[in-house]
């Protein structure tokens, strides 16, 4: 099985760098055979072309504002067909929008298989003069996100269907238990 684990985000926009930081933490460890971890930052075209390399699964890591408490982790399995319905904007080579990356990939004739997003609720995404570094809650979510990705990769390699809601709940209970302030 071949799996792409792709960190995305902008290191100059505070918590938007979550995917980059998690990818960096993963890259500091040995990888399982067939697993490629990469920090794509804001390189949307590079990510689209990498995803077209016939991976069995792709895991995107990104800041994902969904209205919950900062540091909340999400494991999302996007509905690809719904993403294709809103193809009204061109991919911008100077920013990263995973939806647009998927639309570019589709326009080039590709279609990801087994797509997952490991996201984290940001606290500080951008400011007028930029900001480097994650907020405390996002920083604390890196290790649980790495664990979540390890579990997801293991499930995929071993042919098990990932227990998405169970994984998400387990990691968020750890984050919300008061260990992160």
pLDDT at residue 105 in the model: 73
Q: Model's pTM, two decimal places?
A: 0.82
Average pLDDT over residues 62-88: 78
pLDDT at residue 96 in the model: 58
Q: Which two tokens stand for residue 37?
A: 């971890």
pLDDT at residue 45 in the model: 82
Q: Give residue limits of the domains in the chain.
A: 3-179
What band does 60 get if pLDDT is binned at 50, 70 and 90?
A: very high
How many angstroms separate the CA atoms of 104 and 91, rounded?
Answer: 7
Please report, for the chain, how many H helices and E strands are present, in that order: 6, 5
- For the stretch 15-32, pLDDT in tens is 989 999 999 999 999 999
Taking 70 as the threshold, does the pLDDT of residue 97 lie above it?
no
Q: Under CATH, to which class is 3-179 assigned?
A: alpha beta
What band does 167 get if pLDDT is binned at 50, 70 and 90?
A: low
Average pLDDT over residues 74-89: 66
Closest CA to 22 of 8, 10, 1: 8
Taking 50 as the threshold, does the pLDDT of residue 94 lie above it?
no
Taking 60 as the threshold, does the pLDDT of residue 54 lie above it?
yes
pLDDT at residue 180 in the model: 47
Distance linking the first and last C-alpha atoms of the chain: 39
How many angstroms separate the CA atoms of 32 and 56, rounded?
Answer: 14
How many angstroms separate the CA atoms of 171 and 73, rounded?
Answer: 7
């Amino acid at each position: 099985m071949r799996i792409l684990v792709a960190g995305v985000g902008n290191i100059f926009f505070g918590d938007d760098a979550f995917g980059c930081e998690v990818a960096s933490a993963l890259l500091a460890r040995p990888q399982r055979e067939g697993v490629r971890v990469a920090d794509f930052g804001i390189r949307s075209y590079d990510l689209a072309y990498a995803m077209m390399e016939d991976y069995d699964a792709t895991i995107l890591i990104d800041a994902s504002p969904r209205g919950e408490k900062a540091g909340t982790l999400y494991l999302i399995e996007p509905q690809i067909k719904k993403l294709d319905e809103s193809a009204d904007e061109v991919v911008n080579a100077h920013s990263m929008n995973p939806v647009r990356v998927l639309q570019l990939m589709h326009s080039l004739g590709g279609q990801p298989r087994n797509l997952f997003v490991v996201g984290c609720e940001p606290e500080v995404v951008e400011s007028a003069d930029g900001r480097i570094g994650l907020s405390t809650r996002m920083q604390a979510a890196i290790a649980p996100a790495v664990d979540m990705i390890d579990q997801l990769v293991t499930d995929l390699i071993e042919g098990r269907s990932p227990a998405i809601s169970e994984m998400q709940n387990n990691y968020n209970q750890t984050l919300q238990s008061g260990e992160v302030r």
